[in-house]
Amino acid sequence: MDSLELLERCYPGRRAELKRVILQQALACFNEQGIEATTIEMIRAACDTSVGAIYHHFGNKEGLVAALFFAALDDQAGLRERYLAAAATLEQGVRALVHSYVDWVDAQPEWARFQFQARYALAKGPFGEELASRNKARNRLLREWLARHIQGEAWQQVPVELLPSLIVGQAESYCRSWLSGRVRSRPATYREQLANAAWHSICASQG
């Protein structure tokens, strides 16, 4: 899928066209060269604009990294919310979380690849507090949904804060392997197996 489609969802309209162009080229540069090695001049040359335009819209390279990362995070969260809205039971919710994660990575490999490499740099940089705040809010909403659907004393033995890792951990591991080229089959090939594994992890954690 073209990386521009995600940017058009996050930055719609003609007035945001230059932003989309800059971000699209920045994404390509970061994935090809690495975040540390990429310079503003490389991005400027790739999108045929001025350094001033880049600084005007994003401040600096850290601002570009943050804009890309948060666009990916918001798009991923939007898909998860749509899948989760259709789930009526805990099992359906677990499967929806895995499916949304796998489907997003499968459809957006360049964004997912960037997301994995940028997370640490973003957390340690000037946007670290914003990242932590966004993650906290997103995880709180997820924990609240899961808590509403956990019934019976046995389920109470599973720490709610542990559930996201139990649910998405195996899918994330496979997706990382795919993005790095260590495995060849696309994540969507195994979406049901990964969803089954997540559900079994939750069930096994009751005891």
How many Å separate Cα 192 from the centre of its chain?
Answer: 20
- For the entire predicted model, the pTM comes to 0.92
Among 109, 107, 47, 83, smallest CA distance to 167 is for 83
CATH superfamily of 3-204: Tetracycline Repressor, domain 2 (1.10.357.10)
- Angle of CA points 189, 32, 21, to nearest 5°: 95
Q: How does pLDDT run along the chain (207 residues), one tens digit per residue?
A: 467 899 999 999 999 999 999 999 999 999 999 999 999 999 999 999 999 999 999 999 999 999 999 999 999 999 999 999 999 888 999 999 999 999 999 999 999 999 999 999 999 999 999 999 998 888 888 878 877 877 654 455 667 678 788 899 999 999 999 999 999 999 999 999 999 999 998 887 665
Q: What is the pLDDT of residue 140?
A: 84
Residue bearing tokens 């591991």: 173
Q: What is the pLDDT of residue 153?
A: 44
Q: What is the CA radius of gyration of the chain?
A: 19
Give Cβ neighbours of residue 29 (< 8 Å, ≥ 6 apart): 38, 42, 43, 46
Query: Residue 202 and residue 71: Cα distance in Å, rounded?
Result: 30
Domain ranges of the chain: 3-204
Q: What is the pLDDT of residue 128?
A: 95
Q: H helices within the chain, ranges in order?
A: 3-10, 17-33, 40-47, 51-58, 61-85, 90-107, 109-124, 128-149, 163-179, 191-204
